[in-house]
Amino acid sequence: MIWSDLSESDRTKHDPAEVFAAGERNHHISNTAYPIAHRIVWKPYRSDEHEKRKLQTAAIERIQDFALYSHIPFCETRCYFCEYTVVSRDELQRSSEYMELLSRELKMYTALLGGRRLHGFDIGGGTPSFVEGKLIARHVEEVMKRFDCQSGFEISIETTPRIAAADPDKMRLYHDCGIRRISMGIQVVQPDLLRALGRDSNGLEHHFRARDNIRRAGFEKFNVDLMYGFAGQSLLSWEETLRQAIRLNPDFITLYRMRYKLTRISSQAANVRLDDVRDQLSLAAEILTREGYLANPGKNTYSKISNHAGTSAYLTRRVILGMPYLGLGLGAQTMTNSTISYNDGSAGKKIHPYARSIQNGSLPVQDVYDLPLAQMTAKMAAVSLYFGEINTAAFLEKFGLTLEEAYPDETKFALAENLMHYTESGNGIEIGAQKNSLALTKKGASHFNGTIALFFAPSVKEYLIGKQDENSVSPGSTGESLRETEYECILR
Ligand SMILES: C[S@@+](CC[C@H](N)C(=O)[O-])C[C@H]1O[C@@H](n2cnc3c(N)ncnc32)[C@H](O)[C@@H]1O
Ligand code: SF4
């Protein structure tokens, strides 16, 4: 592999203790959504306008095994806390036209990737269940006939309780067309808090009916999303949310710490104390473990199925193996072996530029970054810590150097401070990956934001070290424009 040259600030070394402190101080942004401060740190690697599609095409053609994500950017209402690419109300009626565009984008990539091995497929959003069920079924069918989907391949979709409760036929259609995992967003259960978050109509009263419809449709992999770390969310209210999720008896429960950056309520970040977040996390670990939901320290998804990570096949392979992924749809992110790109719409959240590219027969990419080794290893390490561990064999396989060679001072520091330890993880079993990993200890999980920063590229470390105001998460405060920072979410 020939890597891009390092930028000036990606050549500088930083003291791990200083980086750790900067990550802890900036706990609102030092997390798995990598990179941070996009405009500053990745600008030197951005392809120019004329070259970007050529670069994307060449990088895509070099992929052998991959995971696929289709983004459906429609929602009944826009929750104030949401960080994802969701279109505004005036575009909601364009969902069937949008599915057609998605299909045309898929065809463009089939010409480059057709027949290659596809390991997992996530349909996310937004709210994919917002669109007609038969359009999703058609999209699934198109995907499955174009790629090699062998054993271990699995499709996952997201829904809200309201839709799952109201439309049992849609749930059945999903299962019939081959989708096997479904994830339902609950977030929190207090009506007051939901209202304050702009999510009052999303179905609290429908949880049990939604669950029953999902189970009757045949789903044996049912995940529920919960959120913590909100301003004003007490420990007691968090406990109520956890207990309600457990009552639904899902197979998996995923905990998301609220990321305020770029949301409509970003100014509330200043009211969230790290100690309170830690208390919420340890309470969740205690209650969930007692109820038979297991996760190693620092992992966000708790699983009741033994030897199953609980996440979708798409995400599991991204996290453990650093597998390349293709993102289709508005603002979707794609990672090849050496590039990361973002589709049209990641900045403006409008369908128009995405549609125009596709109608012109061009790949709908907004920005393509040709990254150096230090940025690609950082991306893999940051995403890996979504499971609280970095699989050392997968790292070596992907980059041809060991984790310790890539991060000599940082791994020594993490081990000496008892933030990480070598372990045999259970997370690789279901996908056949070797079990050796460098994993967070309980102390490391409680200092997640500092520990993850050790693996960021030097330019990102420099940014964090220079950033003194830990509560400032809005783009304006750093001089970053919305356009440049908007696409830092991990999963899309
Ligand atoms: C694409 S979203 C949601 C799926 C579905 N539309 C829903 O709301 O139920 C996936 C998950 O991301 C989480 N999420 C949304 N905004 C977030 C934020 N600002 N920080 C952290 N997690 C967030 C929520 O838990 C949500 O269920
Ligand atoms: S959290 Fe879900 S329903 Fe709410 S705006 Fe985001 S994607 Fe839509």
CB contact at 8 A, 180 and 160 = no
Give the number of the ligand closest to the Cα of residue 245: 1
Question: How many angstroms does the Cα of residue 14 sit away from the middle of ligand 2?
Answer: 38
CB contact at 8 A, 349 and 482 = no
- The rounded distance, in Å, linking the Cα atoms of 229 and 205 is 23
Give the number of the ligand closest to the Cα of residue 186: 1
User: In this predicted model, what pLDDT tens digit does every residue of 89-144 receive, in sequence order?
Assistant: 888 899 999 999 999 999 999 999 978 999 999 999 999 999 999 999 999 999 99
Question: How many angstroms does the Cα of residue 100 sit away from the middle of ligand 1?
Answer: 25
In percent, the amount of the chain with pLDDT more than 70 equals: 95
- The rounded distance, in Å, linking the Cα atoms of 113 and 65 is 10
Our answer on whether the CB atom of 82 is closer than 6 Å to any ligand 1 atom is yes
User: In this predicted model, what pLDDT tens digit does every residue of 382-435 receive, in sequence order?
Assistant: 999 999 999 999 999 999 999 999 999 999 999 999 999 999 988 898 999 999
Our answer on whether the CB atom of 327 is closer than 6 Å to any ligand 2 atom is no
Question: How many angstroms does the Cα of residue 80 sit away from the middle of ligand 2?
Answer: 9
Q: What is the pLDDT of residue 472?
A: 57
Q: What is the pLDDT of residue 478?
A: 33
- Cis peptide bond upstream of 126, omega within 30: yes
Our answer on whether the CB atom of 125 is closer than 6 Å to any ligand 1 atom is yes
Q: What is the pLDDT of residue 90?
A: 87
Return left, alpha or beta for 147; rule: phi > 0 is left, psi -120 to 50 is alpha, else beta.
Answer: beta
CA angle (115, 144, 387) in 5-degree steps: 95
Our answer on whether the CB atom of 74 is closer than 6 Å to any ligand 2 atom is no
CB contact at 8 A, 405 and 394 = no
Question: How many angstroms does the Cα of residue 426 sit away from the middle of ligand 2?
Answer: 31
The number of beta carbons lying within 10 Å of the beta carbon of residue 6 is: 18
Give the domains, in start order, of the chain with CATH numbers.
53-317 (3.20.20.70)
What is the side-by-side strand order in the sheet with 436-440? Answer: 389-391, 436-440, 420-424
Average pLDDT along the chain: 93
Q: What is the pTM of this model?
A: 0.95
Give the number of the ligand closest to the Cα of residue 188: 1
Q: What is the pLDDT of residue 38?
A: 87
User: In this predicted model, what pLDDT tens digit does every residue of 344-385 receive, in sequence order?
Assistant: 998 888 899 999 999 999 999 999 999 999 999 999 999 999
CB contact at 8 A, 206 and 165 = yes
Q: Which atom of ligand 2 is nearest to the CA of 160?
A: 3
Q: What is the pLDDT of residue 81?
A: 95
Q: Annotate 158-190 with DSSP letters as a single string.
A: EE-HHHHHH-HHHHHHHHHTT--EEEEEEE---
Averaged pLDDT, 238-265: 96
Our answer on whether the CB atom of 258 is closer than 6 Å to any ligand 2 atom is no
Q: Does position 205 have pLDDT exceeding 90, yes or no?
A: no
User: In this predicted model, what pLDDT tens digit does every residue of 432-473 receive, in sequence order?
Assistant: 999 999 999 999 999 999 999 999 999 999 999 999 865 555
Atom 25 of ligand 1 has which residue's CA nearest to it? 225
- The rounded distance, in Å, linking the Cα atoms of 133 and 129 is 7
Q: Annotate 268-321 with DSSP letters as a single string.
A: GGGG--HHHHHHHHHHHHHHHHHTT-B--TT-SEEESSTT--SS-HHHHHHHHH
Q: Does position 491 have pLDDT exceeding 50, yes or no?
A: no
